[in-house]
Amino acid sequence: MSITGATLASGQTVKISLEANAANFTDGAGPTFAASDVSWNAATWTLATGALGTLKNTAFTQVAQSVVAPVGTIGTTNLVFTLGVHNFGAVAVQAGPQTLVATWQFQSF
| pLDDT tens-digit map of 15-32 | 999 999 999 988 766 667
Residue 87's pLDDT is 66
C-alpha radius of gyration, the chain, whole number: 17
CA-nearest of 80, 34, 84 to 57 is: 34
Reported pTM? 0.88
Tell me the C-alpha to C-alpha distance, in Å, between residue 11 and each of 16, 50, 91.
17, 19, 53
Cα angle for residues 103, 108, 109 (degrees, 5° grid): 130
Mean pLDDT, the chain, integer: 89
User: pLDDT tens, 28-39?
Assistant: 666 678 899 999
Q: Which among 105, 41, 104, 51 is positioned nearest to 78, based on CA atoms?
A: 41
8 A C-beta contact, residue 74 and residue 59: no
Alpha-carbon span 17 to 72, nearest angstrom = 20
Percent of the chain with pLDDT strictly greater than 90: 62
How many structural domains are present in the chain? Answer: 1
- Owning domain of residue 30: 2-108
